[in-house]
Amino acid sequence: MEFVVKTDKGNFDLEASVRFVGKDLLVAIWGGERPHIGAVAIAQPRPSLKDPAQISSTGSVFCLMGHKEDDLAKTVAEILAATINTTVVVTAGIHWHNISEEGIRKVTENSQILIELILDRINKKMAREKVKG
């Protein structure tokens, strides 16, 4: 399974390429004037520390010097790993020159929308496969 999703808010939109590698998930997120790779995060599911009956995740991140995509990459990886219950790797690289605090807030909002778009596509695919057999 492989697909691309994109937010469509008009400002500070993000795009993601999503691909299953076996049962694991690989996600590349980019946006702005100069897409690139600024951070890489990996997360794996685990029982929640508060409630072992629930799935949570643990993540690690590597951020390239001068980049600030570490929180974005780690957050997306951890949410997807816990929700889908699989190992997730996320690369993120976004850049808008002289972005304002409001712009950063919109990027954060769009990252949440991007997660929803990714999960929606995966859930629809899993539902179709379940119906097939």
- Tens of pLDDT, residue by residue over 4-39, are 999 998 899 999 999 999 999 999 999 999 999 999
Query: What pLDDT does 125 receive?
Result: 81
16 contacts 122 by C-beta, under 8 angstroms: no
Q: What is the DSSP letter of 15?
A: E
Q: For the CA atoms of 24, 28, 120, 22, what is the dihedral angle to 10 degrees?
A: -20
The answer to whether residue 127 scores a pLDDT higher than 90 is no
The answer to whether residue 131 scores a pLDDT higher than 80 is no
- Evaluate whether residue 121 is within a structural domain: no
Query: What pLDDT does 133 receive?
Result: 62
Q: What is the mean pLDDT of the chain?
A: 94
- Evaluate whether residue 60 is within a structural domain: yes
- Evaluate whether residue 45 is within a structural domain: yes
- Evaluate whether residue 110 is within a structural domain: no
The answer to whether residue 42 scores a pLDDT higher than 70 is yes
Residue in 85, 87, 88, 73 with CA at minimum distance from that of residue 126: 85
State the residue range of the domain holding 37: 14-96
Q: What's the rounded mean pLDDT across residues 81-103?
A: 95
- Evaluate whether residue 112 is within a structural domain: no
Domain count, the chain: 1
The answer to whether residue 54 scores a pLDDT higher than 80 is yes
CA distance 109 to 9: 10
The answer to whether residue 76 scores a pLDDT higher than 90 is yes
- Evaluate whether residue 105 is within a structural domain: no
- Evaluate whether residue 24 is within a structural domain: yes
Q: Could you report the per-residue pLDDT of 99-121, keeping only the tens digit for each?
A: 999 999 999 999 999 999 999 99
Which phi and psi angles does 96 have, rounded to 5°?
-125, 125
- Evaluate whether residue 67 is within a structural domain: yes
